[in-house]
Amino acid sequence: MYYRPDKINEALDSLSREKLTIAAGCTDLLPSTQQDNLGDNILDISGIKSLKNVDFENGFRRIGSGVTWTDIVENNNLPKCYDMLKECSLEIGSRQIQNLGTIGGNLCNASPAADGVPCLLSLDASIELLSVNGKRVLKLEDFIKGSRKTELKNNEILSAILIPKEAEIGYSSFLKLGARKYLVISIAMIACKLNLEKDIISDIAISVGSCSAVAKRIKSLENMLIGKSIKDELSTLILNFNYEEYLSPINDIRGTNSYRLKVSKVLVKNAIIKTLSKFNLED
Ligand SMILES: Cc1cc2nc3c(=O)[nH]c(=O)nc-3n(C[C@H](O)[C@H](O)[C@H](O)COP(=O)(O)OP(=O)(O)OC[C@H]3O[C@@H](n4cnc5c(N)ncnc54)[C@H](O)[C@@H]3O)c2cc1C
């Protein structure tokens, strides 16, 4: 069977009746089959318009799970703190992948190298899951349980990503290290969101991806930096921080664990410098 409903309720009904594989942009799904087709029992959610909206309601920015990376880049209504998500979107695969791949698919696939995850962690994201039984909202860090493991139940669709209004402050940057410039799986990536009061860091969120089974916020580092002046010697503090306590990178074909640890420190420093430079240029 191949279903392509245009209403979310129809999709949820069919999911409640039989075991179906959800297909959005298929940019993770199709390669995972290692065949030239998706097989049977597919629920294609790409025709559901309500999953493609970005709006603001009840104190939350609501990003539909079917929003593509290109949609994010082209959205001119997002505040500056979403720049990291835009910079990340522009580095996801190629233009073709950005046109098809969705933000919801990136989260549900739950790869340790999913570039969207650190950005959304730094935005304090929660995710909304719908089923015929109703709605569940989980913090993103509670939704992704491990490499390729999520809390998604068989009868649920990830409908939206919710960003609280309070998190929509400051400027942000995304940095990704790969073995080449384009079409590359991250060796490490950083999403940094930062706010200043005069020259004091009043708020900061730093998330590191590809250096543990699930991307991580490094709250101890954030707490250490809050209240510091940008005139202080921040580089030494950032580089000497004990990342080993929070990250557990793997050795693989793209890099050793010690290399990943070393580059993440430098990337964190550079992401903070890049974000600070936006205040200097634009404020
Ligand atoms: C050449 C290439 C380059 C790539 N480069 C990058 C990169 O640089 N960075 C990166 O992070 N990723 C990259 N990817 C991976 C992929 O493009 C992204 O993860 C993309 O965002 C996945 O979205 P999708 O809509 O295609 O998901 P799909 O492939 O349709 O689905 C992925 C998984 O999520 C499930 N799913 C999808 N949507 C939902 C939903 N709303 N509710 C419940 N379950 C759902 C599906 O059942 C499936 O298990 C690349 C892939 C390719 C092929």
CB–CB of 169/241 below 8 Å?
no
* Per-domain residue ranges of the chain: 49-166, 170-282
Pocket residue to mutate for ligand 1, from 45, 92, 190, most atoms within 8 A of Cβ: 92
Mean pLDDT of 213-240: 95
Ligand 1 binding pocket includes 134 (Cβ within 6 Å): no
Distance 102 CA to ligand 1 centre (A): 6
Angstrom distance (rounded) from CA 65 to CA 53: 9
Ligand 1 binding pocket includes 266 (Cβ within 6 Å): no
> Does the 170-282 domain belong in CATH 3.30.390.50?
yes
Identify the pLDDT of residue 47.
98
Q: Tell me: the pLDDT tens digits for 24-44?
A: 999 999 999 999 999 899 999
Assigned CATH topology for domain 49-166: 3.30.465
At residue 253 the predicted structure's pLDDT band, cuts being 50, 70 and 90, is: confident
Distance 183 CA to ligand 1 centre (A): 14
Name the pTM for this structure.
Answer: 0.96
Nearest-CA residue for atom 31 of ligand 1: 105
| Sequence-ordered list of residues with C-beta below 8 angstroms from that of 6, at least 6 positions apart, any chain | 47, 48, 49
**Taking 80 as the threshold, does the pLDDT of residue 166 lie above it?**
yes
Ligand 1 binding pocket includes 89 (Cβ within 6 Å): no
**Taking 60 as the threshold, does the pLDDT of residue 283 lie above it?**
no
